[in-house]
Chains A and B, each alone.
Chain A
C-alpha cells in the first residue's frame, strides 16, 4: 500500500504570500501530525488530528499557521503572510492509534523556501 504522501515536494514563495501544503495519510490511519524541521534541527511539533476530536493546535507558532483535515483523511497546512523564518521542511506523519500500535509513518516532506 501507499505510504504518506505530501505535495508539493518543494515550494519557493515570496515573503508575504500565502502557501498551502498538502498531506495524504495512509488509508485508515486515524491520527495525523504536522511537524516542522529547520535546517540541521530537530522535529518541532505543530498540530495533530485524531479522528473527529478537536485538533491539538498547541504547537502552532503563530496565528499565521492553520491546518484542517477534511473527511478524516487529507490535511492541508496553510501559512499566511509567509516570512523568511518559515523556511523549513514541513513533515506530515500518520499513525493507527490502537492498543499497542503507535508508530508514526512520515511523509517525504515539503521543503518551503521563503525569499
Chain B
C-alpha cells in the first residue's frame, strides 16, 4: 500500500518569511496529492491539491510542486502570517478510485509575530 512521509514535524518561521513542507510517497500509481490545514481544535480543510499531470500549482501565497520521478511533493507558503499557524497534512491517493487518502504525519507550523 501507499506510504507517505512528511518533514519536518515542526516548523517555526518569522512572520513574512517563507515556509516549505516536504512529502514523499511510495506508490507510483498515486496521482492526486492534496494538502489539508488543521487549526487547533478544528477539522482538516483542503487548501490546495495537485494532480500528476502538472508539476506546479499556485493559489495566492500557497503553491505546491510535484516531482513524479522522485515521488516527492512540497507545499510552499510565502509571506507567512500568524493565521497560517496550524498543522498541515499532505496526502496521496489514486483519483477516481475512491481509494482512501494516505496522510503524512503532519507538520506543526508556527508563524512568530
Q: Let me know if A12 is at the binding interface, CB within 8 A.
A: no
Q: Let me know if B25 is at the binding interface, CB within 8 A.
A: no
Write the chain A residue with the least CB distance to B6: A42
0/1 interface trace, chain A 79-115, chain B, CB 8 Å (1 if under): 0000000000001000101011011111111000000
Write the chain B residue with the least CB distance to A48: B100
Chain B interfacial residues counted at CB < 8 A? 23
**Which of A42, A50, A58 has the most chain B CB atoms inside 10 A of its CB?**
A42
A64, B36: Cα distance in complex, Å: 29
Show the binding face of A for B, using Cβ within 8 Å. 30-31, 33, 35, 41-43, 45, 48, 50, 56, 58-59, 91, 95, 97, 99-100, 102-109
The count of A-to-B residue pairs whose CB atoms sit within 8 angstroms is 54
CB distance from B9 to the nearest CB of A (A): 10
Pick from A41, A104, A107, A108: contact of B101, CB below 8 A. Answer: A104
- B98 touching A109 by the CB < 8 A rule? no
Name the A residues within 8 Å of B34 (CB-CB).
102-104
- B98 touching A42 by the CB < 8 A rule? no
Name the A residues within 8 Å of B93 (CB-CB).
102
Given A41-B105, A43-B89, A102-B32, A97 contacting B98 (CB threshold 8 A): yes
* Segment of B11-19, B38-46, B55-63, B75-83 engaged in the interface with chain A: B38-46
Given A102-B32, A106-B44, A42 contacting B104 (CB threshold 8 A): yes
